[in-house]
Amino acid sequence: MIHHTAIISPTAQLPRDIEIGPYCIIGGDVTLGSGCHLTHHVSLQGPSTFGKNNLFHPFCSIGNKTQDLKYSAEPTFLEVGDHNEFREFVTVNRGTGPNEKTIIGSHNLFLTYSHVAHDCQVGNHCIFSNNGTLAGHVIVEDHVIISGLAAVHQFCRLGQHSLIGGCTKIVKDVPPFMIADGNPAEVRAVNEIGLQRREFTEDQIQTIRKAHRCFYDPKLNTSQALQALADEFSGSAHVQTLIDFVKSSQRGVIR
């Protein structure tokens, strides 16, 4: 099911069950998985690979070259998993350096005008609200929600199950399970509603809530807070996730 107005490169690889609507453009070295659907006026550029059952809405532009000024036309890549939905005017860029990749997982929803820049890594089950924007080299872990008009500085990380408030400016790493909001961003609370929706138990949420109070105790510096977490919550895998995230941070975490 390919509309006669679509323009498709001879080097694109398409399955038999794909649906391509009017005025779509598929560039060279684009590989699409089974069940993908391009509504109309969609632009896919390569080298890019897409898994199965991805849905592309009008005027999204996925796989174009990086906007990084260092780029000098070397081959760079985009890899996208399965069951993602890209709404109108979403943009996703390939990597910058030779053979570098932008990587997007599966089951993500990108709302209108959201942007994923070069060399980013987006996990699974994430939601980007309208105009949610990532600069280059950002890592977004699983089950993250980025609210409308939020912007993330390059090289930052957003921990799993975190929530970024609307119009928020992120310049440091956001720890897992937390809500970050404001300009500059502050960690406001535990993302309890999100954890409940993902079937965390009440005991697990209560433990994370206590760990939040411990880590953000104003009387403790970061090293002291990490030691307090290790001492008090040694049996919690979720708190250990928080500890490991903070210890591995390159930009520092929001405290």
**Which residues participate in catalysis according to the annotation?**
118-119, 136
Tell me the C-alpha distance between 86 and 127, whole Å: 11
Of 224, 189, 102, 203, which is closest to residue 246 (Cα–Cα)? 224
**SS3 for 221?**
coil
Residues with Cβ within 8 Å of 202's Cβ and at least 6 positions away in sequence, in order, are none
Q: Are strands 77-80 and 101-104 parallel, antiparallel or unpaired?
A: parallel
Q: Which residue has the tokens 């005008």?
A: 113
Contact assessment for residue 47 and residue 26, using Cβ atoms and an 8 Å cutoff: no
Tell me the C-alpha distance between 239 and 234, whole Å: 8
What percent of the chain is helix, strand and coil (3-state, nearest 5)? 15, 30, 55
- Residue 253, strand partner residues: 173
